[in-house]
Structure 1
Amino acid sequence: INQKMGNSSESFSFVLAAYGNVGALKYMYFVMILFWYLFICVANTVLIVVIRVDRRLHEPMYILLCNLCVNEINSSTSLYPLLLSQMFSDIHGITLTWCFLQMSCMYTSASVEFCSLAAMAYDRYIAICHPFSYNVIMNTERVFLLILLVWIFSFVSFLLSYSFIYSLKFCGDIIDNVYCDHQLIIRLSCSVSIQSSLSIIFFVIMSILLPFTLISVSYLKILAVCRKTSTENKQKAVTTCTPQIVSVSNLFIGCICYSIDFRFLVAQVPDEVRIILAIYLLICQPILTPFMYGFNLPKIRQSCKMLLFKRK
């Protein structure tokens, strides 16, 4: 046990116990994780570059998509470099400061993900339900302001929810995971106050339930309008909205996987499965975004072909 237990200083460190001893397999895991991380970064960067280069894509929907891709890179960077650095470590230790930094990146990214999808759902609602007012309501300046507010809101939401963790005193230092999970860290504190439960509830309401409510209302109104329009307009609405619906559905699958308490299923669930489910969102979501939008939106697909094959 860490000798500095009971102190909440920068020198206090945790042990990420879920890595275990994988022996020679660590080389294979390292290559797989590195490849996947680079694959995520390249795929999202390509989409960002395509949107930046093609002036026809300088529209609110694609600017919001570009922001979503930036967030996918940010969320992946909050996890994968740590995984890679721990592969060849015998101790698997991480200081409280780095733990807090990782949590700030991960949970801010999670909030940005939901809020960005809410902004994209609102954009589709205005485009489909109020097409004549679209250029006035969703102009470029307002979109960039909306993106800025999303990031500020998400970061402030994290700070208000979890900043108290940095001042906690700990009576344990073993985190049974491959990254710093706030729930597991709170369990290691010497005294669990009602503040910890309230902080989780506050973060879930502000960063997940509120954006999901906005997404649901937007799509219900879109569905109501689409029922009264032509078949062609219905197809256009389905084409532009399907990627967002898939993204939201995948996010909730990930949230369910993250929320499962495996302490009661240790005997039934292998360690590898438990770890994969814990980081499911950061495995699937960052690569789902560029491929869902890249292959489903005609304008993006056409611009990708022009960029790759130099067609004019």
Structure 2
Amino acid sequence: MKNSSYLSPSVMTLGFGELTSMRYMYLALVVWGYLSTVLSNVSVILVIIIHKELQEPMYIFICALCFNGLYGSLAFYPSLFINLLQKVQTISYSSCILQVFAIHTYGGCEMTLLAVMALDRYVCICNPLRYNSIMSSAMVYKLILAAWSYPFILNTIHIMLTVRLPLCDSAILKIYCDNWSVVRLSCIDTTLNNTFGMVAIIALLVVMPSLIFISYIAILRACVKSSKDFRAKALKTCAPHLITITIFIVGVLFELFLYRFTPTAIPYALRVFMSVHFLVAPPLLNPLIYGLKLTEIRIKIIQQVKGHFRENIKAIDHENSSAK
């Protein structure tokens, strides 16, 4: 039987604090960030889908990464935009839990997809003759399914452990809901949640980076034994992936750093930056990195833009000639 002092808040308050003093500037940044993220990710996805010559394992994995970026952005930006419009920044408990699930699965999928992409680069560079037979279409889609299923299963269990907790407060210190922010409000012992949280961290933030590290050690060894041209080609295909990994890992380290300290001990502006980095930077920068670094994608995007521009010019010329 629950203690009568336990609360089951239907509404959670969010820690917007100083952000509301410049809400219109932040609203403009949110709109720009979300539109830029959607446009860049959708552009890469459409280019890969439209052009059959790009439907190879590496590009399909990039497409999956962009889909995940859109998913993470959808979990973050609309809620942020709505709250900046309101006088009091709140979120319903059910919406908060849904956001927790979406943000954590986005982060988990980003990590597992990066690990799968490292495996793909390993097979491509270290076993080039067997690459097509190993990375068949069936294998590629199985790897993507596994990369998405793994975090979804882990976070489903995580959320089930969280929603059972009675809460004694309703104040979320961040500008969005995450699992730790909800669990810390519990009135009862959270050892089980903390233990499973450690299991999830090891499964996603130790095992996956270890797979990436092992893959790149093997790639590095293969490059050392190969020609200069081979090393240059390997670096060209691996560089975007390494940059993407670095950006995401930095954001994850920011999050882990925040968990280790009392949030109020860190300056507010720095706390907000550190907490949103992994939600804002990867979805926004990943398609730009791959679009700029990988020649095939860059060429196809430029061709699409030029083709669309020519069609508009022709349409305008036709309208002008008809008017005359």
> 1:32 aligned to 29, 33, 40, which one?
29
Q: Percent identity?
A: 29
2:159 is the counterpart of 1:167? no
The answer for unaligned runs of 5 or more in structure 1 is none
1:169-208 maps to which residues of 2 (within 5 A)?
169-208=166-205
CA contact 1:68–1:116 (8 Å) conserved in 2? yes
Q: Which runs of 5+ in 2 are unaligned?
A: 309-324
Distance 1:5 1:229, change over 3 A: farther
**SS of the residue 2:287 aligns to:** helix
> Whose radius of gyration is greater, 1 or 2?
2
Distance 2:158 2:183 in 1: 12
Structure 2 equivalent of residue 18 of structure 1: 16
8 Å contact kept, 2:14–2:90: yes
Tell me, in whole angstroms, the C-alpha distance in 2 between the residues paired with 1:5 and 1:221: 57
| 2:183–2:190 CA contact under 8 A, matched in 1 | no
Matched, 1:78 2:75: yes
Partner of 1:140: 137
Contact 1:51 1:62 in 2 (8 A): yes
Corresponding residue number in structure 1 for 2:211: 214
Give the one of 92, 97, 101 matched to 2:98. 101
Match of 1:114 among 85, 98, 111: 111
What whole-Å deviation, never above 9, does each CA across 1:55-90 have from its counterpart, x for those lacking one? 110100000000000000111111111100101212
State the alpha-carbon separation in 1 of the partners of residues 298 and 263 from structure 2. Answer: 44
TM-score normalised per structure 2: 0.89
Normalising by structure 1, we get a TM-score of 0.92
One-letter code aligned to 2:181: L
* CA offsets 1:280-304 (integer angstroms, 9 cap, x no match): 1112111121011110011111111
Question: Could you tell me how far apart the structure 2 residues matched to 1:30 and 1:186 are?
Answer: 29
Contact 1:5/1:173 (CA < 8 Å) preserved in 2?
no
SS at 2:25's partner residue?
helix
Q: Supply the AA of the counterpart residue of 2:201.
A: V
SS, match of residue 20 in structure 2: coil
Residues of 2 paired with 1:265 and 1:85: CA distance?
Answer: 24
Q: Which residue, out of 280, 285, 301, partners 2:282?
A: 285
Structure-2 separation of matches of 1:223 and 1:202: 30
Task: Give 2:6's aligned residue.
Answer: 6
Q: Distance in 2 between matches of 1:302 and 1:140?
A: 24
Q: Which moved more, 1:184-193 or 1:65-74?
A: 184-193
Q: Distance in 1 between matches of 2:261 and 2:131?
A: 50
Structure 2 CA distance, aligned partners of 1:165 and 1:201? 14
Report the RMSD for the aligned CA atoms in angstroms.
1.8
Whichever residue aligns with residue 83 of structure 1, its letter is L
Larger displacement relative to structure 2 (187-196 or 254-263): 254-263
Runs of 4+ in 1 over 6 A off after TM superposition: none
Equivalence for 2:293: 296
Aligned to 2:318: none
Is residue 124 of structure 1 aligned with residue 121 of structure 2? yes
State the alpha-carbon separation in 2 of the partners of residues 189 and 41 from structure 1: 36
Q: Against the structure 1 CA distance between its residues 5 and 227, is the aligned structure 2 distance closer, same or farther, given a 3 Å change threshold?
A: farther
Query: Given residue 297 of structure 1, which amino acid in structure 2 is its aligned partner?
Result: L
Q: Provide, for residues 93-130 of structure 1, a one-character-per-residue CA deviation record: whole Å limited to 9, x for no partner.
A: 21221111101111101111011011111111111111
Conserved? CA contact 1:19–1:92, under 8 Å: no
- Deviation per residue, 1:228-254 (Å, 9 max, x gap): 111111011101111111111122211
CA contact (8 A) 1:19 1:177 kept: no
